[in-house]
Amino acid sequence: DTGVSQDPRHKITKRGQNVTFRCDPISEHNRLYWYRQTLGQGPEFLTYFQNEAQLEKSRLLSDRFSAERPKGSFSTLEIQRTEQGDSAMYLCASSLAGRELFFGEGSRLTVL
C-alpha cells in the first residue's frame, strides 16, 4: 500500500449538480478525516471517522454535505446541489490510533 488514494483528482461540475469523492485510506489505519482547503488558505477540518463511526462533524459541513465510511474501509464525501462556494480542494487523511495524519493528494472541485 503506497498511501492514501483519492478519486477523482479533479472534478468540474455545474452549479446545482451532485458530486461524490472517494478516499481509500492506508489499509491498517482506523481513522479517516476529511478536510477542505480553499485557495490561499490552510486546510479546515470537516469530519472524521473511527472505523465506520462518524465521530465529529464541523459546522462547515452543511446539510448538503454527507460523508460515509461503510465497513470502516473507504469513505465517500457527497456534496448535493453544489454551489460556487464549494469550489475547493477536498483532502482526505488517515491515521492509526490518533497519531500523525497521512494525507492524500486531494480532489479539486470546480463549480461553474
Partner 1 sequence: AQSVTQPDIHITVSEGASLELRCNYSYGATPYLFWYVQSPGQGLQLLLKYFSGDTLVQGIKGFEAEFKRSQSSFNLRKPSVHWSDAAEYFCAVGEGAQKLVFGQGTRLTINP
**Which residues contact partner 1 (rule: CB under 8 A)?**
4, 6, 31, 40-45, 48, 56, 91, 93, 95, 98-106, 108
Nearest distance from residue 73's CB to partner 1, in Å?
Answer: 20
Q: Compute the distance between CA of residue 52 and CA of residue 64 in angstroms, rounded to an integer.
A: 20
State which residue, 74 or 103, has the beta carbon closest to partner 1: 103
- The SS3 call for residue 42 is coil
Q: Compute the distance between CA of residue 96 and CA of residue 112 in angstroms, rounded to an integer.
A: 37
State which residue, 42 or 70, has the beta carbon closest to partner 1: 42
State which residue, 11 or 108, has the beta carbon closest to partner 1: 108
State which residue, 52 or 80, has the beta carbon closest to partner 1: 52
Nearest distance from residue 91's CB to partner 1, in Å?
Answer: 6
- In Å, what is the CA distance from 54 to each residue of 51, 63, 106? 8, 15, 20
Nearest distance from residue 83's CB to partner 1, in Å?
Answer: 23
Q: Compute the distance between CA of residue 82 and CA of residue 70 in angstroms, rounded to an integer.
A: 23
Q: Compute the distance between CA of residue 14 and CA of residue 75 in angstroms, rounded to an integer.
A: 24
